[in-house]
């Protein structure tokens, strides 16, 4: 479903962030991207939804070449890929409901569909009781749940998470990862860039390790350190 072919990324200042990345991810896989800070994990995730473009090489999603995508097709690619970050990037003056509904409003969904899908996804992440609260009234774990709800409200086949537990305590991190596993079990490909050794070693999945812009290890049911 996702094929990364010989991708190299050189930033404008000359820094080589990715160097010859080859990666194949099948539909409905769950993959941890691990590696030290600066290894290139975010750069790789950003390429998958065309927030960054490779300097050379290409990425194919369902056999569609991202380098061949016309600018007007990029919004359609982004609709098929939900993204969550360490810093939640929520709209502070909108309620939980509005933060999640916003993604569907820009896609011109009907009011009926918006109401139904937002209610369903808030139930999935366990936040239906907080629907009328503002983000500042919620804990970090709850804010991350809103982000997850927002990212998957239109049922994208792929969910990317960049350090989703980076600001959370161990118990809350565990809950967030369990939620990502649950979403994976609902036929969503999930790719998580993480430093969280405890979770990678506990909730065992495929582990792709990146170092200095290269993949140095790719193991099914891997550990954070070999």
**Residues at the site binding ligand ADP, with contacts judged by CB under 6 A:** 11, 13, 15, 17, 35, 37-43, 193
Question: Do residues 147 and 90 touch, judged by C-beta distance below 8 A?
Answer: yes
Nearer to ligand ADP, 86 or 189 (CB): 86
Residues 6+ apart with CB under 8 A from 223: 200, 201, 204, 207
Task: Give the Cα separation of 33 and 192 in Å (integer).
Answer: 6
Sequential DSSP letters for 90-134: --TTS-HHHHHHHHHHTTT--HHHHHHHHHHHHHHTT-GGGTTS-
Beta carbon of residue 43, minimum distance to ligand ADP (angstroms, whole number): 3
Nearer to ligand ADP, 46 or 155 (CB): 46
Nearer to ligand ADP, 138 or 192 (CB): 192
Secondary structure (3-state) at 63:
coil
Task: Give the Cα separation of 9 and 132 in Å (integer).
Answer: 43
Nearer to ligand ADP, 9 or 130 (CB): 9
Nearer to ligand ADP, 117 or 194 (CB): 194
H-only helix segments in the chain: 41-48, 74-79, 96-105, 111-124, 140-152, 170-185, 197-202
Beta carbon of residue 53, minimum distance to ligand ADP (angstroms, whole number): 12
Beta carbon of residue 220, minimum distance to ligand ADP (angstroms, whole number): 22
Question: Do residues 193 and 205 touch, judged by C-beta distance below 8 A?
Answer: no
Question: Do residues 225 and 194 touch, judged by C-beta distance below 8 A?
Answer: no
Beta carbon of residue 81, minimum distance to ligand ADP (angstroms, whole number): 17
Nearer to ligand ADP, 42 or 189 (CB): 42
């Amino acid at each position: 479903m996702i094929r990364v072919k010989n991708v190299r990324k050189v930033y404008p200042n000359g820094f080589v962030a990715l160097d010859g990345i080859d990666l194949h991810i099948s539909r409905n896989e769950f993959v941890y991207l691990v590696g030290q800070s600066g290894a290139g994990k975010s750069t790789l995730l950003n390429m998958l939804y065309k927030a960054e473009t490779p300097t050379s090489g290409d990425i194919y999603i369902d056999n569609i070449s991202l380098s061949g995508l016309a600018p007007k097709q990029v919004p359609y690619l982004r609709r098929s890929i939900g993204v969550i970050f360490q810093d939640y990037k929520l709209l502070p003056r909108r309620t939980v409901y509005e933060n999640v509904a916003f993604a569907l409003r820009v896609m011109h969904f009907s009011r009926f569909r918006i109401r139904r899908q937002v209610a369903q996804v808030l139930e999935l992440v366990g936040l239906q009781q907080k629907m009328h609260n503002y983000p500042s009234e919620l804990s970090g774990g709850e804010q991350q749940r809103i982000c997850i709800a927002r990212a998957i409200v239109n049922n994208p086949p792929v969910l990317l998470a960049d350090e989703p537990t980076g600001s959370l305590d161990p118990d809350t991190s565990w809950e967030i990862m369990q939620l990502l596993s649950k979403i994976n079990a609902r036929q969503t490909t999930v790719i998580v860039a993480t430093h969280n050794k405890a979770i990678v070693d506990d909730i065992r999945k495929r582990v792709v390790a990146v170092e200095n812009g290269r993949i140095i290890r790719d193991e099914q049911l891997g550990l954070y350190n070999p």
